[in-house]
Amino acid sequence: METKVKELFSTILEVPANKINDKTTPENIENWDSFKHIVLVSAFEEEFNISVEPEDVVEMYKNYETFKMIIMEKLK
């Protein structure tokens, strides 16, 4: 599942998956701005049929690790 999360993340941001790791933040990756973040969250909601709480949307903007953990938690 972790691979699938990274794949979708990489597709939406149009950034190669090998350039994404837990330390990836909106500051150190091109394309991850506040609008693209909303696009990301919305794509994950649609793909995995989940609903992300508004406060989680904010948390997920910290780094890829937090983003992934929140999505994985929702998928449990």
Partner 1 sequence: MAKSTFKGIAISGIAGSVPKNKINNLTDHEFCSEDERKKIVELTGAHEYRKAPPEICSSDLCEAAAKELMRGLNVDPKSIEAIIFATMTPDYRIPSTACILQDKLGCPISTVAFDINMGCSGFVVGLYNACALIQGGGLKRILLLAGDTQSKLCHDQDKTVVFLLGDGGSATLVEATGTSEDSIVIELMTDGSRFNSLFVPAGGFRYPSTKITREVKEQADGGLRAEDDIYMDGMEIFKFSSTDVVKSIKNFMELGQLSAEDIDFFIMHQANKFMTDKIARKLKFPLEKVPYSLRVYGNTGSASIPLTIVHNYDAMIPSGKNRCLLSGFGVGLSWGVADIVLNQIYCPPVIEC
Q: Is 29 exposed, middle or buried (0-12, 13-18, 19+ CB in 10 A)?
A: middle
* Contacts with partner 1, residue ranges (CB under 8 A): 33-35, 37-39, 42, 51, 53-55, 57-58, 61
Q: Which is nearer to partner 1, 1 or 47 (CB)?
A: 47
| Minimum gap (Å) between residue 1 Cβ and partner 1 | 24
| Minimum gap (Å) between residue 16 Cβ and partner 1 | 20
Contacts of 17 (CB under 8 A, 6+ apart): 6, 7, 9, 10
Q: Which is nearer to partner 1, 33 or 47 (CB)?
A: 33
